[in-house]
Structure 1
Amino acid sequence: MAYFLAVYTMKPESLAGFYARSKAEQDAIDAEGLPKWEAWEQRNAQALVNRGGMVGKTLRVSKAGIAPASNDFCGYVVVEAETIEAAADLFRDHPHFSVFPGDTVDLMPFLAGPDLENKPAL
């Protein structure tokens, strides 16, 4: 089995479109999407190595210094699967983009890095 970083992405204009909706519309989307997200996690619990989470604004560190930055990264999860295609299948019709204003889930295999053999308790 291999481990994959799944990155949830959302363009700023997609988020702005969500916030442009009325509070009642936002609440309705949350009421539909949150139970679906929870059901997705329950269905795929065996593959979830780390449930990750959603993230906020970016502060970028480079040779030029530290400055606010923008990217489409809005959250992540770590999954375990036989192949990247099998990992991708876990996210078909995911609530991130089928209900919420998310755009994509990008998957990348871990080539090296964290000790995922000693999985933390979820």
Structure 2
Amino acid sequence: MPRFLAVYTMKPEDLTRFRSLPKPEQNAIDAIGLRQWADWEERQAAFLADRGGMVGKTTRVTRDGITDGVNPFCGYIVVEADTIDAAARQFENHPHFTVFPADGVDIMPLLTDPT
């Protein structure tokens, strides 16, 4: 079955705004969102090829050297689906952007065989 990389995205300013909320409010959002996320993973378990994880600050390496990088990536997961549209539908109403202050999930086909 085809595999797709799904990248969770969040604008840095949205994360900053979330982290500026009072801690009890952040904790309440986290409690709701993490429960809904776990429920989503349970419903999608048959299609999860790699549960991935959340990621931290970016370091960028180019021919000019190593620097701090900035991008909207905050996590990833690998899913299996017949088509990219089917993969995208798995993320409709995902708590990443319905509960947390995130902007979306980018879906890309993996073009190489994992073995």
Q: Report the Cα offset of residue 112 of structure 1.
A: 1.4
Q: Report the Cα offset of residue 94 of structure 1.
A: 0.4
**Aligned equivalents of 1:110, 1:33: Cα separation in 2:** 28
The answer to whether structure 1 residue 18 and structure 2 residue 18 are counterparts is yes
Deviations 1:40-95 (A, max 9, x none): 00000000000000000000111000111100011000000000000001000101
Matches within 5 A, 1:32-111: 32-111=32-111
Moved over 6 A (4+): none
Q: Where does the alignment leave 5 or more consecutive residues of structure 2 unmatched? A: none
**Aligned equivalents of 2:19, 2:113: Cα separation in 1:** 36
Aligned residue pairs, count: 115
> Root-mean-square deviation (CA), in Å?
0.8
TM-score (norm 2): 0.97
TM-score (norm 1): 0.92
**Aligned equivalents of 2:50, 2:34: Cα separation in 1:** 18
